Structure 1
Amino acid sequence: MIDDARTAFAAEFDVSRETLARLDRYAELLAEWQQRMNLVGSSTLPLMWDRHFRDSAQLLPIAGTGKRWLDIGAGAGFPGLVLAILDPTAKLVLVESITKKCRFLAEVANETATAASVGVANMRVEALAGSKFDIITARATASVEILFDWSLRFANASTRWILPKGARVQEELASAAQWFQFEHELIPSRTDPDARIVVAKGVKRR
């Protein structure tokens, strides 16, 4: 099943053999580190290529290549490290407050030859020095409203938020709209029929 999902992933995203080998190394490291610390739900490890890699990779066609990304609450590196492996022209800052998870992120970056394009910030996003990003993302970290609140200072007029969300996305958007003005569209997730990807821009406080 893993081999089938891996083959399907490579075909869907037109992945080279070299890039696929880097993702294989990522998968190996995730399985090794998962034995020592809780990086992902253990039940999702056999589904890694679809549940984590594909779920992350689907953001790249939306964003386009060569972007500067901020990944808030990077955790095990999804989506940030997957995007770095797939797009060598991207620059990413992965923000993660848990030190041992940052050690994992740094090792994966080193082992997959993406360390030059990935910065790992071991802190809460509120403490991150101000900078501007093309794309702001987060996976299973916080609500849309909270993510806007945390990250608005990192945005300029052209910044987009690309946020994978579950079945409660409409509730989150309604709550965010009480405090922020924004334009958005919802893109169906490739990995979950109930999930949507929020693509927002023009975010301003009310």
Structure 2
Amino acid sequence: MTSLDLLPHVSRETYSRLEQFVALFQKWARHINLVAPSTLSQVWDRHVKDSAQLFALNPSPLQWLDLGSGGGFPGVVTAILLREVEGGWVHLVESNHKKASFLRVALQETGAKGSVHSVRIEDADEAITDIQAVSARALASLPSLLEMIVPWANRNTELVSYLHKGRDYESEIANARGKFQFDLVKHQSRVEPDSVVLEISRLTRRPIAAGARHDAR
């Protein structure tokens, strides 16, 4: 199976951009830790195709926020795939300066539709405001991710998040529901049989019960 077979629905031009990104990724990964070393030989199937699932779920020209962008999965892949449509942008948040430098080079050299914000996630909501969709991959537990996302959800009630999760996702969902209310759609991963993409919308904090407030005092 060739790399193109893994992404049969993209144009030749988009595939060429993805191929250019993979070459840059492999070059930089020799010097900085972008993904788990054990997965470097599976970049197309394990990382590119896995990332491309998000755009396949929602190929609209959205304003994306990609948290903890690291090696560019899924943020750079989404930014490249957005070249297939009119409009749309990806705001990649990465506080590690070496990784942020890689991301900037990747976006510039592939002509992808995105920009890099080298700030901490907890500070990003002040700089990035008009967001329609959020992505994150291999970043944190679901309760922690929702804590990061809720400032944008408070601004936009139609915000949708697409979050990659592994085999323990059910327990993470249960833990998250103790603190947050949200609608949930589970999309089975096309790459990892035990993994899912969680589509989360209408995210809000659960109200603190009166008794809990009293106990806190």
Task: State the TM-score bracket (shorter-chain normalisation).
Answer: over 0.9
Q: Find the counterpart in structure 2 of residue 149 from structure 1.
A: 147
- Cα distance per residue 1:81-112 (max 9 Å; x no partner): 00111112321110011000000000000110
Q: CA RMSD in A?
A: 1.1
Q: Find the counterpart in structure 1 of residue 136 from structure 2.
A: 138
Q: Find the counterpart in structure 2 of residue 113 from structure 1.
A: 111
1:140 partner letter = A
- Cα distance per residue 1:99-157 (max 9 Å; x no partner): 0000000000011012xx31101011101115131111100001111111111111211
1: CA distance, partners of 2:15 / 2:24: 14
Q: Find the counterpart in structure 1 of residue 50 from structure 2.
A: 55
What displacement does 1:45 show? 2.1
Once superposed, which parts of structure 1, at least 4 consecutive aligned residues long, lie more than 6 Å away? none
Aligned-partner SS, 1:202: strand
Q: Find the counterpart in structure 2 of residue 195 from structure 1.
A: 195
Q: Find the counterpart in structure 2 of residue 101 from structure 1.
A: 99
Q: Find the counterpart in structure 1 of residue 211 from structure 2.
A: none
Q: So what's the TM-score if we normalise by structure 2? A: 0.88
1: CA distance, partners of 2:2 / 2:65: 28
Q: Find the counterpart in structure 2 of residue 36 from structure 1.
A: 31
Q: Find the counterpart in structure 1 of residue 69 from structure 2.
A: 74
Aligned-partner SS, 2:197: strand
Q: Choose from 8, 26, 43 the match for 2:21.
A: 26
1:127 partner letter = D
| Max Rg structure | 2
Q: Find the counterpart in structure 1 of residue 5 from structure 2.
A: 8
Q: So what's the TM-score if we normalise by structure 1? A: 0.93
Paired residues, number: 199
Q: Find the counterpart in structure 2 of residue 124 from structure 1.
A: 120
2: CA distance, partners of 1:185 / 1:24: 31
Structure 1 unaligned spans of 5+? none
Q: Find the counterpart in structure 1 of residue 212 from structure 2.
A: none
Taking only the aligned residue pairs, the percentage that are identical comes to 37
